[in-house]
Structure 1
Amino acid sequence: MPPASSRPVDSLDDDDYPAYTMGRAAEMLGTTPAFLRALGEHLLITPLRSEGGHRRYSRYQLRIAARARELVDQGTPIEAACRIVILEDQLEEARRINEQLRTQGRESQSKNSA
């Protein structure tokens, strides 16, 4: 088997691949298609469209939607839940970038002192 870096990206391993129909996504989340449409209206997730115009969701989008559903189930209004999830996602991305920069800085210091 070739190393992972030389294999083509498998769409089933791609978190951003729009693999799930609205009905399947709603079923997986234990919610309704209307809830998913509402998340789109509040700009939390923007599903891709199939050639026929049907909404398609990725695993990443389903994780985001699941977090919003948790908040809504706890009594948070959907608008606030969407904003919270957006901010949580931005914070996680900032933390990832910070860690990456710290790692690069440590590597740079190691090379300079060697």
Structure 2
Amino acid sequence: MTADDSYGRLDDEDYPAYTMGRAAEMLGTTPGFLRALGDARLITPLRSPGGHRRYSRYQLRIAARARALVDQGTPIEAACRIVMLEDQLEEARRMNSEHRAARSSRTTTA
């Protein structure tokens, strides 16, 4: 890998660039909170060759959403489920929108 390849990954939101300690610091939480999110299967960090957890920006955004719910008093398991359901709903809405657009274009071209 060249230096240019490494710098290009900085723009990749799925690149696992953050250690557990740095991720926890950025979120203002503890490593235990991140481990709990992993146990609840909300986020699955990648592992470095040495076995250390690494998080992506995308995973940190998901963790921040769960953190906001927990800060409001929602139990962590429920917060994880809420975030998962919100994501599923958003995906279903996106798919419905695409389906409607495709159906509409077939109707107007027929």
Q: Identify the match of residue 90 of structure 1 among 88, 91, 110.
A: 88
* Partner Cα distance (1:102, 1:45) in 2: 31
Tell me which residue corresponds to 2:5: none
Match of 2:54 in 1: 56
Q: TM-score, normalised by structure 1?
A: 0.83
Q: Identity across aligned pairs (percent)?
A: 77
In structure 2, the gaps of 5 or more residues are: 1-7
- Find the aligned partners of 1:14 and 1:104 in 2 and give their Cα distance: 30
Task: State the alpha-carbon separation in 2 of the partners of residues 105 and 36 from structure 1.
Answer: 42
From 13, 22, 33, the equivalent of 2:31 is 33
Aligned length: 103
Q: CA RMSD in A?
A: 1.3
Per-residue deviation, 1:109: 2.2
Give the deviation of 1:71 after TM superposition. 0.6
Bigger fraction of residues in helix = 2
Deviations 1:48-79 (CA, angstroms, capped at 9, x unpaired): 11111111111111111001000110111111
